[in-house]
Amino acid sequence: MAESGYVVRDRIPLSTNPSAIELKINREDTYRIHVVRDSSAATEALLAELDGRRAAVITERTVASLPAYRITGALGERGRLLGSIAIPPGERSKSLDTAYLLIDWLAQLGLARRDVVVALGGGMIMDTVGWVASAYMRGVPYVNVPTTLLAQVDAGLGGKVAVDHNAAKNLVGAFYQPRAVISCLEFLETLDPRQARAGLAEVVKKAVIASPELFQFIEQNADELVRCSPRPSETLVRAASTIKCELVGRDPYEVDLRRPLNFGHTVGHAVETTTGYGPVLHGEAVAFGMAIAVDISRARGLLAPALADRITRLLTGLGLPVRLEQLRSVPPVEDVLAALDKIREIRDGSLRFVLPVELGTTLIADDVTEDEVRAALLRNVAEDVPAGRR
Same domain, 174 and 210: no
Answer yes or no: is 176 within a domain: yes
Establish whether 262 is a catalytic residue: yes
CATH number at residue 125: 3.40.50.1970
Establish whether 24 is a catalytic residue: no
What pLDDT was estimated at residue 319?
97
What pLDDT was estimated at residue 122?
95
Which residue, 160, 190, 220, sits at the end of a domain? 190
Q: What is the pTM of this model?
A: 0.89
Establish whether 219 is a catalytic residue: no
Establish whether 258 is a catalytic residue: yes
What secondary structure, in 3-state letters, does the chain show? CCCCCCCCCCCCCCCCCCCCCCCCCCCCCCCEEEEECCHHHHHHHHHHHHCCCCEEEEEEHHHHCCHHHHHHHHHHHCCCEEEEEEECCCHHHCCHHHHHHHHHHHHHHCCCCCCEEEEEECHHHHHHHHHHHHHHHHCCCEEEEECCHHHHHHHCCCCEEEEEECCEEEEEEEECCCCEEEEEHHHHHHCCHHHHHHHHHHHHHHHHHHCHHHHHHHHHCHHHHHCCCHHHHHHHHHHHHHHHHHHHHHCCCCCCCCCHHHCCHHHHHHHHHHCCCCCCCHHHHHHHHHHHHHHHHHHCCCCCHHHHHHHHHHHHHCCCCCCHHHCCCCCCHHHHHHHHHHHHHHCCCCCCEEEEEECCEEEEECCCCHHHHHHHHHHCCCCCCCHHHC
Catalytic residue among 189, 219, 234, 254: 254
Catalytic residue among 34, 94, 259, 265: 265
Same domain, 318 and 347: yes
Answer yes or no: is 13 within a domain: no
Q: Give 301: exposed, middle or buried? Use CB within 10 Å, 0-12, 13-18, 19+.
A: exposed
What pLDDT was estimated at residue 42?
97
What pLDDT was estimated at residue 387?
47
Answer yes or no: is 21 within a domain: no
| Structure confidence by residue, pLDDT tens digits, 205-260 | 999 999 999 999 999 999 999 999 999 999 999 999 999 999 998 888 887 766 89
Nearest to 160 by CA among 29, 307, 8: 29
Establish whether 160 is a catalytic residue: yes
Catalytic residue among 11, 24, 27, 138: 138
Total structural domains within the chain? 2
Same domain, 319 and 220: yes
Same domain, 212 and 168: no
Same domain, 64 and 157: yes
CATH number at residue 342: 1.20.1090.10
Catalytic residue among 169, 269, 298, 352: 269
Same domain, 108 and 200: no
Same domain, 183 and 289: no
Answer yes or no: is 7 within a domain: no
Which residue, 162, 190, 218, sits at the end of a domain? 190
Which residue, 190, 207, 234, sits at the end of a domain? 190
Which regions in the chain score pLDDT beneath 70? Answer: 1-3, 257-258, 348, 382-390
Same domain, 132 and 260: no
Catalytic residue among 54, 80, 94, 160: 160
Same domain, 128 and 227: no
> What range does the domain containing 298 cover?
193-389
Answer yes or no: is 25 within a domain: no
Same domain, 282 and 326: yes
Q: From CA 302, how far away is CA 323, in angstroms rounded?
A: 21
Establish whether 34 is a catalytic residue: no
Answer yes or no: is 217 within a domain: yes
Q: From CA 119, how far away is CA 86, in angstroms rounded?
A: 10
Catalytic residue among 197, 262, 284, 298: 262
Same domain, 226 and 166: no
Catalytic residue among 258, 310, 342, 379: 258
What pLDDT was estimated at residue 255?
77
Strands 353-358 and 361-365: antiparallel
Answer yes or no: is 19 within a domain: no
Same domain, 107 and 90: yes
Answer yes or no: is 75 within a domain: yes
